[in-house]
Amino acid sequence: MLNIKLLGVQKVTDRISHILQGKHSRFGRALTKVAIQVESTAKREGFRKGSKKARGESKAARGAKLRPAGDVLTSRTGRLRGSITHRVDRAGLRAWIGTNVIYARIHELSGRAGRGRASFIPARPYLQPAVESNRALIAQLFAGEIDKLLDGH
């Protein structure tokens, strides 16, 4: 009979156990930072301050003047911007950044609205650009946490 003893197996097993125990809290913290940053970016860069309706100016004229296709959203009341929030599920390592305002989706993705869906609203995304502009930060935060775990911290 041949007996083989692997040296260092316990150390490797302990390291793997440590990684698995700490991953949710470590990555959960990183995920929370990412969600807060993306939410903040969407609120800061996805909107611009709108103007009040000038006397006698039609809604269509004001809309054409303030919202060229593909531009950022004009915020008059701040309702959509103020409703953007985040939620983090640390156990499942998932995050949601969004809003419950009913007209939010059509501004993000574009679409038809109004009676008979006669009006076309061009996309003026505010969430996706926020994610895109934070890609480097997202990669950096998670890479840093992986490095810490592999180094035994």
Task: Give the pTM.
Answer: 0.70
For residue 117, is pLDDT > 60? Answer: yes
Domain count, the chain: 1
Domain membership flag for residue 144: yes
DSSP secondary structure, 42-67, as one string: HHHHSEEE--PPPTT--HHHHHHHH-
Mean pLDDT over the full length of the chain: 79
**In sequence order, what are the residues at sequence separation of 6 or more whose Cβ sits closer than 8 angstroms to the Cβ of residue 4?**
none
Q: Write the pLDDT tens digit of every residue in 14-69.
A: 666 666 565 567 788 888 999 999 999 999 998 887 655 555 555 555 444 444 44
**Structural domain for 23, as ranges:** 13-151
Count the neighbouring beta carbons within 10 Å of the beta carbon of residue 134.
18
- Residue 57 domain-assigned (yes or no): yes
pLDDT of residue 51: 55
Domain contains 64: yes
Give the whole-angstrom CA distance, residue 153 versus residue 150.
8
On whether the CB atoms of residues 88 and 95 are closer than 8 A, the answer is yes
Of 81 and 70, the structure prediction assigns the larger pLDDT to 81
Residue at 6 is within a domain: no
Question: Within a domain: residue 79?
Answer: yes
Copy the structure tokens of residue 78.
């701040």
